[in-house]
Amino acid sequence: MLVRAFVPSHITAFFVPRFNENYLLAGSLGAGVNLNRGITIIAGIEEGVERQVRVAFNGKPVKRKSAVISYSVAEEIVPRDFPGEVEIWEYFDFPNGYGFGNSGGGALGTALALSYAFKNKTMLQAAQIAHKHEVLNRGGLGDVIAQLTGGVEIRIKEGAPGVGVVDNIFFEDYKVLAVPLGRLSTREVLEGDMIKLIEREGMKALEKLLMAPNVENMMRLSREFAENTGLLEGELLEIARELDKVLKLPSSMVMLGKSLFAFLRGNEIPKAQETLDELSIERYEICEVWKGKPEVGRWFGSVSKSYL
């Protein structure tokens, strides 16, 4: 049996980390947007004689140390007495480590696909398991609950799905420019010296956004947060300034990755593309906002198993 899940990529505009020994209470405050590009999970379930779990990223097999979150999610959901093979193929539209929620999306997609296959968890229970292993393994704090919600979201109370509170911002006619430029370690930033500055600037941004909850204000606050924390600097800042010259709203940094994003209208797309071409930036995506929950269901296509 094959099951397919799709989880939207998620961009965090700004955030306030909230740590807690209880993973259900850990999470983040902040705001962001979900994209129609994302993470596709295909789970293959076959009965056999021995319980085995295997994971592959973009067609290549990965060992546990390189996919500890996905393996941990699978081991919690796959019944202990299941005598067969579970193969999990994860496909990412954006590169890993660039700030687009691949870790959370992979965890959530794996949890949803396996829960659908075995019919042993609800969507909320599956999402909480994904959040649990994201938090325990320092993959992230707020992506799972945001990806479960969809749209342009404000995380107004930290915690796992079912505990944290997420609201949505109304918008229309915007597309999202996503420019993946490099890797940034979430673990290193969250464990670094700038955490107090991030918390202070993040709370200021959240309070101001709740007073005027719209996309335009979110982008201004995101840019202020990125510059005031010192996360947006150097070449990345210079590229953002070049994009600002042709866009109505400021561009900003994807949290946490060396990547940029911007909200733009249809008539601004050619100008943004021309600017990126002049900067010799070839890889970027013009995305729609993903407005709903992740998708999950039976898959009747085929998947090559030659690499597992």
| Whole-number Å distance between alpha carbons of 295 and 5 | 5
Range 171-287 has CATH code 3.40.710.10: no
Q: Examine the pLDDT at 83 and tell me if it is beyond 80.
A: yes
> Shortest CA distance to 257 belongs to which of 179, 208, 184, 177?
184
DSSP 8-state class, residue 251? P
Tokens of 229: 């924390």
Q: What is the mean pLDDT of the chain?
A: 95
| Whole-number Å distance between alpha carbons of 275 and 297 | 40
* Residue-wise pLDDT tens digits, 178-196: 999 999 876 777 777 789 9
Q: Mean pLDDT throughout 175-180?
A: 98
Going by pLDDT thresholds of 50, 70 and 90, the confidence category of residue 269 is very high
| Whole-number Å distance between alpha carbons of 111 and 109 | 5
Domain ranges of the chain: 2-167+293-298, 171-287
* Residue-wise pLDDT tens digits, 297-307: 999 987 655 44
User: Which one is the CATH code of 2-167+293-298: 3.40.190.10, 3.30.230.10, 3.40.50.150, 3.40.50.720?
Assistant: 3.30.230.10
* Residue-wise pLDDT tens digits, 215-254: 999 999 999 999 999 999 999 999 999 999 999 999 999 9
Torsion angle defined by CA atoms of residues 68, 70, 76 and 80, in that order, rounded to the nearest 10 degrees: -90
- Give how far the C-alpha of residue 190 lies from the chain's centroid of Cα atoms, to the nearest Å: 16
In this predicted structure, what is the pLDDT of residue 277?
98
In this predicted structure, what is the pLDDT of residue 82?
95
- Give how far the C-alpha of residue 201 lies from the chain's centroid of Cα atoms, to the nearest Å: 21
Query: Which residue is associated with the tokens 């955490």?
Result: 195
Give 84: exposed, middle or buried? Use CB within 10 Å, 0-12, 13-18, 19+: middle
The whole-model pTM stands at 0.95
Q: Mean pLDDT throughout 73-99?
A: 96
> Shortest CA distance to 249 belongs to which of 270, 222, 281?
222
Tokens of 188: 């290193």
Say if residues 143 and 100 touch (Cβ distance below 8 Å).
Answer: no
> Shortest CA distance to 107 belongs to which of 289, 291, 294, 290?
294
Say if residues 158 and 27 touch (Cβ distance below 8 Å).
Answer: yes
Tokens of 112: 């949803």
In this predicted structure, what is the pLDDT of residue 304?
59
Going by pLDDT thresholds of 50, 70 and 90, the confidence category of residue 308 is very low
- Give how far the C-alpha of residue 206 lies from the chain's centroid of Cα atoms, to the nearest Å: 19
Q: Mean pLDDT throughout 160-167?
A: 98
Q: Examine the pLDDT at 132 and tell me if it is beyond 90.
A: yes
* Residue-wise pLDDT tens digits, 1-14: 999 999 999 999 99
| Whole-number Å distance between alpha carbons of 114 and 43 | 7
* Residue-wise pLDDT tens digits, 133-151: 999 999 999 999 999 999 9
SS3 state of residue 150: coil
* Element at 257 (helix H, strand E): none
SS3 state of residue 137: coil
* Residue-wise pLDDT tens digits, 150-160: 999 999 999 99
Torsion angle defined by CA atoms of residues 10, 197, 226 and 136, in that order, rounded to the nearest 10 degrees: -20
In this predicted structure, what is the pLDDT of residue 305?
55
Q: Mean pLDDT throughout 43-64?
A: 94
Query: Which residues in 34-64 are b (16+ Cβ under 10 Å) and which e?
Result: bbbbbbbbbbbbeeeeeeebbbbbeeeebee
